[in-house]
A = this chain, B = another copy of it.
Amino acid sequence: MAGSTAERILDVAHKLIADRGYAAFSYADIASEVKVSKATIHHHFPLKEDLVVAVLRRHRQRLGEGLAQMDGAASDPFDRLTYYMKYWEACIQKKTEPICIAALLGAELPSLPADVATEVRFHFADLHRWLQQTLELGEKQKSIRLTQATSREADLLMATVHGAMISARAYQSSAVFSQIVDATLQRLSPAAVSA
């Protein structure tokens, strides 16, 4: 029950979006869970688009903060990537955030309202930027081994993680995700060329 009503609405909305995507959750669902009336939700977020955009903005801001924090905590770019992936591994395992909502909404993109779609694309751009920068630094410092241009490697990495989230859903197990993360990190590690 922590946080303001608006924040609790965002929390539940985030959870429901992660579960069902855009179309399959309703204001009524949120209302019953947050224990406020539907009208209250409309007071804070007049349109469904507004609500989902707000959820995505918060998600994107948190991502930005998290990545910045990671950049501060770990000097080695390889470690940064490791932390990023292990963070998601923990989320999926503990089911606190079983999938990245931007990945889910990315799949549904053609049917999303324009401003929601824009916000989803911002997330992809943000994540791509961080991944590319991290890979580039790692390549310079020789702590990451690449075979493609950093931009392409960033795309490959992002796709792998998103796909792994979906597979974890399909298999109803976080093990696939862990294995894919481990294999990916091993591929990027300069140490173990053939172990």
Binding site for B on A (CB under 8 A): 19-24, 98-99, 103-104, 106-111, 120-121, 124, 147-148, 152-153, 155-156, 158-167, 169-171, 176, 179-180, 183-184, 186-187, 194
Contact = CB atoms under 8 A, between A and B. Distances in A.
Contact of A162 (B19, B21, B22, B162): B162
A109 B155 contact: no
Contacts of A165: 107
5 residue pairs, one from A and one from B, having the closest CB atoms: A159-B163, A163-B163, A23-B24, A20-B111, A162-B163
B162 A180 contact: no
Contacts of A109: 169-170
Given A103-B107, A110-B169, A183-B152, A159 B160 contact: yes
This protein's copies in its complex = 2
A69 B49 CA distance: 45
Nearest to A109: B169
B170 A155 contact: no
15 contacts: A20-B111, A21-B23, A98-B110, A104-B107, A104-B108, A121-B171, A124-B171, A147-B183, A152-B183, A155-B164, A158-B167, A159-B166, A160-B163, A162-B167, A163-B163
A164 B167 contact: no
Contact of A155 (B99, B108, B167, B186): B167
Contacts of A158: 163, 167
Contact of A156 (B108, B166, B180): B180
